[in-house]
A and B are shown apart, each in its own frame.
Chain A
Amino acid sequence: MRIAVCVKHVPDATVHKRLDPETKRLDRSGEGALNPTDLQAVEEALRIKEARGGDVVLVSLGPAKASDSLRKGLAMGADKALLVSDDAAAGSDLVATTAVLAAALERESPDLVLFGQASSDGDGAVLGAAVADRLHRPLVTQVAELTIEEGSLTGKRQTEHGYDVIKAPLPAVVAVSDAINEPRYPSLKGIMGAKSKPHETLALGALGVDAASAGEEGSKTTVRDLGPPPSRGDQVKLEDDGAAPQKILDYLVEKKLV
């Protein structure tokens, strides 16, 4: 079976993330990495491939340097990578991103599309559900355990109330939860091998996506203004010198919380 994993190149966790006051977009000039929860989606795809055979293709929308992140996924064991990169796609919101990814996925026609839980920069946990609707495929999100059977899948979905076990026929779209697995580290052999794996970069036109349906033009949301972070009020700091319990109690009393 063919598994596509949608992944995102995000600013590295150690980089201070900021929005550019001019473009009001995320400043992506610093070091980047594969989005942490996407690593779990890649890992799950590799486990399925190891158990059942098939191939794993990474699909991404992002700047040219997202190639570096895709190479990490290839080093983990994915078979090929498809990056959609186009200046006209910069600033895409959910609807615009969905249009581009759906076109890329239709080209690859996978049996299973996997997403990570949420990106560390957008933090919406919404893309998988939007893509499933666009592709007319069944959807299961927040999947903590995934089993593939002949022609179908069973996912254990984590909700606020417990677990829902959901069965869906393939082809399907699954977004994994952050509890699903521990992603592997690429081996040296994997890192070396990644360099010779197919690694395509396509512009929107090559995918048949109209530039007007991507980027800011294709977006239905806007960023109007940026402001200082929400203030939580004054923070009180204390180091325990033995009196911390009493000081905490005093603080709670003052705030009328006890």
Chain B
Amino acid sequence: MISILIQQLVGGLAIGSMYALVSLGIALIWAAMKVVNWAQGEFVMVGAYIGLTVYVYWQLPFILALIVSALIIFVLAALIEKFAVTPVRKYGDLSLLMITIGVAILVKQLAIIIWSPIGEVFPSVFGNKPIVIGDIYIVPEKIVIFFIGLGFMVILYLFLFRTKVGKGMRAVSQSRDIAAIMGVNVTTIEILAFGIAGALGALGGVLLAPLMYVEPAMGTYVGIKGFVGAVLGGFGSLPGAALGGLLLGIIESIAAAFLPSGFKEAVAFIILIVILLVKPSGLFSKKSN
């Protein structure tokens, strides 16, 4: 009983830290520009496919897969911000949400053409031979992935709090106009925010790939998970998003052990709705609604 719980906890932490990266991307874009980016999940999916191409097809090192994937998605996300999101911003929130949904559809369909509509298995990178401690089986890969995810979160933190650009980004998130008056280049910051969010999604995608199936549908699937994580944490709060993503991964993983597998989807959402009923602005938000 306890051993199953610990095994599921480890699995949940690994998946959860990847959800956290996706949630962080969503929260970052919301904080910086008040845009709900529905295409975040598609960044994850394309990121995973680029990882697959570099690591499996071209047989290059895994670290290179991470870098190439993050760079390509950074550019893709920045282009989307410039040519699709910015022109629609003046039309209001619904149009903004819909343009990111439209972009998500477009990206997903392009991915189906470039790769294939059928999923592929990503081979294990860090070893999937379980380590046995007593009666607990732990897959080392999951632990490594969890720590890599944690590492990226630390890097994001350092970027936001220790660099000038990061400071500018936080300034824009507090007040767009005043930041602009103070000499922050708001347009650049917004493009950067989108790009960084995309890169976070891509990194999450490449690291998720060994844990799940790489297929075009994973964009919607992981995207929704990222949103739940971000909302759990109080939308727009970065530490909240990270914790929300982790929490979601753990809840799902533990629910999967004790319920028929299909219901783990529903459990995450039931918990989400209950939490929103009690605290309509998420678990970790300071402002009340």
The reply to whether chain A is a binding partner of chain B is no
Residues of B at under 8 Å CB distance from A? Answer: none
